[in-house]
Chain A
């Protein structure tokens, strides 16, 4: 079955530091890949997505590239801010024709804390 593995957290950084959160996946077919963010006390929000190999998703200074050869979708940001403190989830959605059409499979989430 499909699975998503994220790096262990929590991750604690100082403001303006470089961020990488690793994400690897296993899936049948051609999944789409997503990063969702959950701010304290809120629901999940889509941060970015990529729908095919070599696509780069980007939003709010975050970016991630769909790497089929390494089955990875690592999240990066060049300079984090205190307001980026949240839980980040990597997820995949199985492609059309799969038995899990449209469902999301989530990684375990990574807690990010950014200090001033």
Chain B
């Protein structure tokens, strides 16, 4: 089945540093990937839509300069949390939709998430 690999699974960083999270589709191509943030006991909040070869589309209220997204190829998107602060601590999840046969009701394939802790 379709596999999305997200790395790292856990990261602890100091306040003020930057952290990069990678999201790879291992056996399919994904022109579009999505980045979500999940708060404890809360739902997934869409942060941005990552588009290969073009700028990401950010949801309202998400700081573009803090959460940098780069979709360098059809199998890789990265999220960089810049100048991280403790309030950025959260669970970040990426997802991708297989380009083959894509329609609006095609299921998303999710990575296992990255637990970010900023100290």
Contact = CB atoms under 8 A, between A and B. Distances in A.
B4 A32 contact: no
B110 interface: yes
A18 to B, nearest CB: 25
Interface in B3-18: 4, 6
Interface string B46-61: 1001000000000000
B6 A43 contact: yes
B46 A43 contact: no
Contacts of A41: 112
A44 B44 CA distance: 10
> Which secondary structure dominates chain B's binding surface?
loop
Interface residues of A, number: 25
22 contacts: A32-B104, A42-B112, A43-B6, A43-B110, A43-B113, A44-B95, A49-B105, A89-B43, A89-B44, A95-B104, A96-B103, A96-B104, A101-B104, A102-B32, A102-B106, A104-B95, A104-B108, A105-B46, A106-B43, A108-B41, A108-B43, A109-B43
Interface of A: 32, 34, 36, 41-46, 49, 51, 89, 93-96, 101-109
